[in-house]
Structure 1
Amino acid sequence: MTPSQTPLLDALKWRYATKKFDPARRIPEETWETLEHSLSLTPSSFGLQPWQFLVIRNPEIRTALRAESWGQAQLTDASHLVVFTVKKNLEEEDISRWVARLGEVQSTPLEVLAPLQSIISGFVAPMDTDQRRAWNTRQLYIALGQFMTAAAVLGIDTCPLEGINPAGYDRVLGLEGTEYATVVACAAGYRAEDDRYAAMPKARFAREAVIRHI
């Protein structure tokens, strides 16, 4: 194993779903900026990025969200909280907006990108609204995984939170009637010294049980 590979595996072994955060420790702003950047770099199918990530800084809102999360303390004790929201539909204007952005960044005329837009539109068109939302939601979990991995590499603890009431989150966050909806949340910060889960061995099946070489 080369030295460049060791830190990544060490970080993945070190991370765990933190149950108890130290409310007195805050993530430095520079480090948080890096984590936000990692979110914006998340890959998605065709690059469409059908999501918005809500960084909840308001303590009153975080308290209200805790009430929609079975009272889990991570909501209010962690340094930062991110709510991962998904686009409920995907329409032609969304595709056009992305293709325009692609052309801008890569200095490519839209007429050159027209075949790509046709391919994307042809893929999306047969889906109904529920299928599009499900497709978008599956991609959102790529963002969650990337965020948690980036955090671990930077020495930041995280806890993904699916034990929440998404409809309650939408109400608290003013998402009702918008094009976005809550899927999952993730708290980030630093583990408390007395979090007993931090010292527990990580239980995973052996690689041979979950990886097959064909």
Structure 2
Amino acid sequence: MSFDILKKLEWRYATKKFDATKKVSSKKITILKEAFNLTATSYGLQPLKLVVISNPKIIKDLVPLSYNQGQVGNASHIFVICIENSIDAKFIKKYFDLVNKARNTSRDILKSYEDYLIDNFSKKTDEEITIWAAKQAYLTMGNLLTVCAVEEIDACPIEGFQPDQYDSYLNLSAKGLQSVLVMAVGHRSVDDAFSELKKVRRGVDEIVIDLE
């Protein structure tokens, strides 16, 4: 099984040209949505939301907001990973309501940890919270890319876009969100030259330090 996973990771690459005639199935998209929801985040708070776009017009309109990158325009779906603008006591209390419901753990037991998190976040600046939340977005991106590889869904992670323009066009600010990362998904075009290039990595011996 582990060898199969490594083969899948060798197979994946940052797709530069998708086949616009091939759409990712709704079943596969559902798997990616579930994987997003199951991704680990700091404290389990999930300060994120995922916008999944399949509407061709919206995708087309996002191209100029993504520095005219072709993989945006010919993707099957565009995933926009967003962070919540308000991580406050109310948000944290809502999380502990979920813990209480899912695990049937009394609020008395949860209270000390809940109070700790509320106090901890109340002392952070808005900038510190934004940076923290953005780190969680990167965690989900990494997980989604791995799941895409396992499911043989082609994908391209994108930082090169205009967040303010995305937020305005997709009305994210009104939803209390701001875009952090974009991921285009689809199926690679047969004439995407990048699909044939050998993967370049520094090597395990160079980037891993074993302390035995």
Q: TM-score range by the shorter chain?
A: over 0.9
Match of 1:6 among 3, 6, 28: 3
Query: What SS does the aligned partner of 1:68 have?
Result: helix
Contact 1:151/1:157, CA 8 A, preserved across alignment: yes
Q: Is the aligned partner of 1:48 residue 2:45?
A: yes
Q: Which amino acid in the other structure matches residue 106 of structure 1?
A: R
User: Greater shift after overlay, 62-71 or 194-203?
Assistant: 62-71
Alpha-carbon distance in structure 2 between the residues aligned to 1:116 and 1:55? 33
Residue in 1 that maps onto 2:190: 193
User: Does residue 66 of structure 2 align to residue 104 of structure 1?
Assistant: no
Alpha-carbon distance, 1:121 to partner: 1.8
Equivalent of 2:147 in 150, 175, 179: 150
Code of the residue aligned with 1:6 in structure 2: it is F
Give the structure-1-normalised TM-score: 0.95
Residue aligning to 2:21: 24
The percent of aligned pairs where both chains have the same amino acid is 29
- Separation in 2 of the partners of 1:117 and 1:49? 15
For residue 85 of structure 1, report the CA deviation from its aligned partner: 0.6
The answer to whether the Cα contact below 8 Å between 1:22 and 1:192 also exists between their aligned partners in 2 is yes
Deviations 1:32-63 (A, max 9, x none): 11111101101111110001100012222111
State the SS of the aligned residue for 1:213.
coil
Tell whether 2:108 aligns with 1:87. Answer: no
Give the counterpart of 2:199 among 178, 181, 202.
202
| Greater alpha carbon shift after TM alignment, 196-205 vs 168-177 | 168-177
Distance 1:44 1:119 in 2: 17
Find the aligned partners of 2:18 and 2:57 in 1 and give their Cα distance. 18
Listed as ranges, the gaps of 5+ residues in structure 2 are none
Q: What secondary structure, in the 3-state scheme, does the structure 2 residue paired with 1:192 have? A: coil
In the alignment, structure 1 segments of 5+ residues that lack a partner are none
Tell me which residue corresponds to 1:113. Answer: 110
Pair 1:68 & 2:102 matched: no
For 2:83, the aligned partner's letter is V
Task: Work out the CA distance in 2 between the residues paired with 1:5 and 1:142.
Answer: 21
The residue number in structure 2 matching 1:129 is 126
Q: Contact conserved, 1:61 with 1:172, CA < 8 A, in 2?
A: no
- Aligned residue for 2:184, secondary structure, equals strand
Aligned residue number for residue 211 of structure 1: 208
Measured in 2, the distance between the counterparts of 1:26 and 1:176 equals: 29
Residue pair 2:54, 2:76 contacting (<8 A) in 1 also? no
Instruction: Output the TM-score relative to the length of structure 2.
Output: 0.96
Q: Does 1:165 align with 2:162?
A: yes
Q: How far 1:140 sits from its partner (Å)?
A: 0.7
Counterpart of 1:39 in structure 2 is 36
Counterpart of 2:63 in structure 1: which amino acid? R
